[in-house]
Copies of this chain bind each other. A is one copy, B any other.
Amino acid sequence: MTLMDHLATRSSRMKASEIRELLKLLDQPDIISFAGGIPDPALFPTEAISDAYASVLGGAEAGSALQYQVSEGYLPLRKWLAGQMGKLGVACDEHNIFITSGSQQALDYLGKLFLSPGDTALVTWPTYLGALQAFNAYEPRYDRLTPDGGNMTPSAYHAAAAAAGGKVKFAYLVPDFANPTGETLSLRQREAVLDLAGELDIAVIEDAAYRALRYDGEGVAPILAIDCARSGGIENARTLYCGSFSKILSPGMRVGWVCAPRRVVERLVLIKQASDLHSPSINQVAMHRAAEAVFDRQVDKLIGAYRERRDDLLGALEANMPEGVTWSRPDGGMFVWVTLPEGTDATAQLARSVKEARVAFVPGNAFFADGSGRNTLRLSFTLADKRAVSEGIPRLAALLKG
């Protein structure tokens, strides 16, 4: 996905004419981009993945890897993932694992499972734009979830949902190194989300796409693990955990998973059967082999590389940004979230920035379900090498000063 495509697909709330204008400008090699929320392809474990495909297609499993398979996914991969979830404090087995074509598909299916037009989904302001796009197909309204305190009362959420002609169906959030803010919820905040979900009697969708990419400090237990400990086990849990190999091994293979109570997995299997039968067999077999061979080593490699890029970006922001501009200091993931002075329009700044500073980013407005946040923007550091940071951030800072 090129930067142009990325901007075209992700900034859907920008006007089409604005995007077209930008695309013309971006089709030039001297733009420094902090826009694309994608991993660095130079860090892909290409050799391990190549070996995995070669061993599958040269071995006894070739026929089944090229054939139709069951909708829930490749059994050895599901067992491997159940083991990984166990390491995170979620005791479960393969019946609790459902393979998806990337975690985006999990969000689509969970939207399809839960939402009727007029129902309410609780999301943070801002939240992952792809989640809003997935849910929007099922015509919900959104209400605001504030895990750091200040949520409405359960009865107020219920009343607002009923007034819109539906019910509150779930809370969606990215608790670790969120897209777009980079922020991570504390244990107490996770417990508060579960408390609220319990009072509302709704599901929690835990989007864990970035979870393995922690550069500092200790990991916080997944919401699903806390839920299992409180409720007595995964079959009693209300949390549906969406995982992905996209940020660690390869997004282009499109392999993700849901870890959930068996009754939810069974419903997702029916949805998948009707929608694409199953995720590609061969990619699941190859992903299993590649993950067994290099997953932990690959996580270490990415942590080393991305930590340095994050540090360089934060250092450059500190050294260059004018007063009144603030930003998040993420412990992991891919993003730094920048807040411009009140009244500044980041979309307008992007147009100027691309033309004058030759620097690109994603305006934050697109990530707000209510269309607010016009003075925010997202910077991704995963593709930003030292030169990009040392040249791009001073140019962006100079533009924002001017």
Residues of A within 8 A of B (CB): 1, 5, 9, 38-39, 41-42, 44, 46, 49-50, 53-54, 57-58, 62-71, 100-102, 104-105, 108, 112, 130, 133-134, 136-137, 246, 250-254, 271, 273-283
Q: Given A50-B62, A57-B50, A63-B44, do A252 and B133 touch, yes or no (CB 8 Å)?
A: no
Can you tell how many copies of this chain the complex includes?
A: 2
A137 touches B112 (CB 8 A): yes
Residue of B nearest to A134 (CB): B274
Further 16 A-B residue pairs, CB within 8 A, beyond A68-B246, A105-B275: A1-B67, A1-B68, A9-B70, A9-B71, A38-B67, A42-B63, A53-B54, A66-B252, A67-B250, A67-B251, A100-B276, A130-B274, A133-B273, A134-B275, A254-B277, A276-B276
A9 contacts across to B, CB distance below 8 A: 70-71, 273
Q: How far is the CB of A276 from chain B (nearest CB, A)?
A: 4
- Cα A391 to Cα B64 with chains together (Å): 26
Q: How far is the CB of A402 from chain B (nearest CB, A)?
A: 34
B63 touches A102 (CB 8 A): no
A104 touches B277 (CB 8 A): yes
A273 contacts across to B, CB distance below 8 A: 9, 133
A41 touches B67 (CB 8 A): yes
- Cα A67 to Cα B252 with chains together (Å): 4
B44 touches A275 (CB 8 A): no
A46 contacts across to B, CB distance below 8 A: 57, 62-63, 66
A62 contacts across to B, CB distance below 8 A: 44, 46, 50
- Cα A268 to Cα B400 with chains together (Å): 38
B271 touches A254 (CB 8 A): no
B283 touches A102 (CB 8 A): no
B136 touches A274 (CB 8 A): yes
B274 touches A254 (CB 8 A): no
29 CB-based A-B contacts, threshold 8 Å: A1-B69, A1-B70, A5-B70, A9-B71, A39-B67, A41-B64, A44-B62, A44-B63, A46-B66, A53-B57, A64-B252, A66-B253, A68-B246, A68-B251, A69-B252, A100-B276, A101-B279, A102-B277, A105-B276, A108-B275, A108-B276, A134-B275, A137-B271, A253-B280, A253-B282, A254-B276, A254-B280, A254-B281, A282-B283
